[in-house]
Amino acid sequence: MTSRTIPMSIRSSACLPISTLIAEAHRLGIRVMIDLVLSHTSDQHPWFVESRSSRFNPKADWYVWADSKPDGTPPNNWLSIFGGSAWAWDPTRLQYYMHNFLTSQPDLNLHNLEVQDALLAVERFWLERGVDGFRLDTINFYFHDLELRDNPALAPERRNANTAPAGQPVQLSGTSLRQEPPGKSQNSSSASRAVMDEFPAIAAVGEVGDSQIGLEIAGQYTSGNDKMHMCYAFEFLAPDPLTPAGVAQVLHDFARAAPEGWACWAFSNHDVVRHVSRWGLGIADHEAHAKFLMSLLMTLRGSVCIYQGEELGLTEADLAFEGSAGSLRHPVLAGFQGPRRVPHPDGLGQERRQRRLRRWQALATGAERTSRPRRFRTAGGPEFGAQPLPAVSRIPQAAPGFCQGRDRVSSLSGAVARV
């Protein structure tokens, strides 16, 4: 491992505080997983700065570069998840670079073995500092089609807004060729798993962002014992209201697509509206609804992710566009990605931006009330200071069938699914 692989800012300034955090968490019996983004970097990253400086530097092939068509247009019809072309023009190299997401997030070229080695070194770097695992971002976006073939149109009946903001043109074409068939990605995941297996009790959860075959991809990445420990897809993060039939269908589809796989379920995350608000239209008792949804999540077969504030039944933050709070929102992505990436209400008074502390006021309607500590009593049980996670989180431990058994829906009656 060298300074060319691990930036100085990571090797020095970031290490002391995170080492302290990890040590204290371990003292308290808490394990620490970090978000690891391997598919792309910032356009300010030293790797990309060097790569875009010319066509002949040591990192010239570390990102996905391509010549334009003869008329100057992008190499193909690939679209960004966040709207527009997946290609951005660079006037220095006189080429396009690929970005599956924002133009400021150029995609790494994982077909390049040097890039793979560098990313494995980054993974090892954090494991050696004591992290207990990773949440691996967009694992099905690691590789692209080397022939740069156009994506075909997606049939109207297969289009949805599960993984892209509603109304974005990417929903019309999908990502079938922008993402390489899973063989190479799975081999890369096996190499990543081999590094993790050198350290005790490490776990990795892979994010699968695909609106059509997310569960199938999750199954491919978690089959066997040599890739991801678990994966999460977007079926329960979709905007559609949750129904008994819908839950039963997702469980059935996952069991069919991934008989050897292991799911990590989530109802909310930073990409979507919090589920208490997303599924709360027409609900009279929001607190009871939040408790029920938490109980359902914790009793699904698989692992679960709890989004910060979910244990309190926190509702969605509605930030104004004016002032510094508004600058945190993306005008195109509002309603999908923009508003979610804000602090927990306890920290809404401060936000560090542009290397200096700036204060701003932004509390959602009802969020201040919801985030205040409350006590409730479960039937026959003790009081807890936060609802309703402490009680239901023990269900899988008390009933091993939730971890080792199989889901079977015996009947659907009205608003109840009997399993």
Q: CA-CA distance, 261 to 266, in Å (whole number)?
A: 16
- Residue 180: other Cβ atoms inside 10 A: 17
198 classed as catalytic: yes
CB-CB contact of 121 with 128 (8 Å): no
Domain-embedded: residue 354: yes
Numbers of helices and strands, H then E, in the chain: 15, 15
pLDDT at 397 over 50: yes
Of residues 214 and 13, the one with the higher pLDDT is 214
CATH number of the domain at 200, please.
3.20.20.80
What is the total count of domains within the chain? 1
117 classed as catalytic: no
Q: CA-CA distance, 217 to 215, in Å (whole number)?
A: 5
Domain-embedded: residue 305: yes
Q: Calculate mean pLDDT across residues 196-214.
A: 80
The angle subtended at Cα 139 by Cα 136 and Cα 140, nearest 5°, is 165
CB-CB contact of 193 with 168 (8 Å): no
**Catalytic residue (one of 50, 137, 145, 351):** 137
**Catalytic residue (one of 114, 197, 198, 226):** 198
Domain-embedded: residue 364: yes
Domain-embedded: residue 69: no
φ/ψ of residue 94, rounded to 5: 55, 45
pLDDT at 120 over 90: yes
Q: Calculate mean pLDDT across residues 130-145.
A: 90
Domain-embedded: residue 93: no
Calculate the average pLDDT of the chain.
75
- Residue 310: other Cβ atoms inside 10 A: 22
Domain-embedded: residue 105: no
Which tens digits make up the pLDDT trace of 278-336? 998 888 898 899 999 999 998 888 889 999 888 888 888 776 655 544 444 444 444 44
Domain-embedded: residue 103: no
Q: Give the pLDDT confidence score for residue 105 in this predicted structure.
A: 96
DSSP annotation of 141 reads: G
Which tens digits make up the pLDDT trace of 154-195? 766 655 555 555 555 555 565 554 555 555 665 677 788 889
- The length of the chain is 419
pLDDT at 228 over 70: yes
- Which structural domain, as residue segments, surrounds residue 124? 31-40+112-418
Domain-embedded: residue 15: no
H or E, element range at 376 = strand 376-377
Torsion angle, alpha carbons of 378, 306, 189, 105, to 10: 180
Q: Give the pLDDT confidence score for residue 112 in this predicted structure.
A: 95
Q: Calculate mean pLDDT across residues 110-130.
A: 94
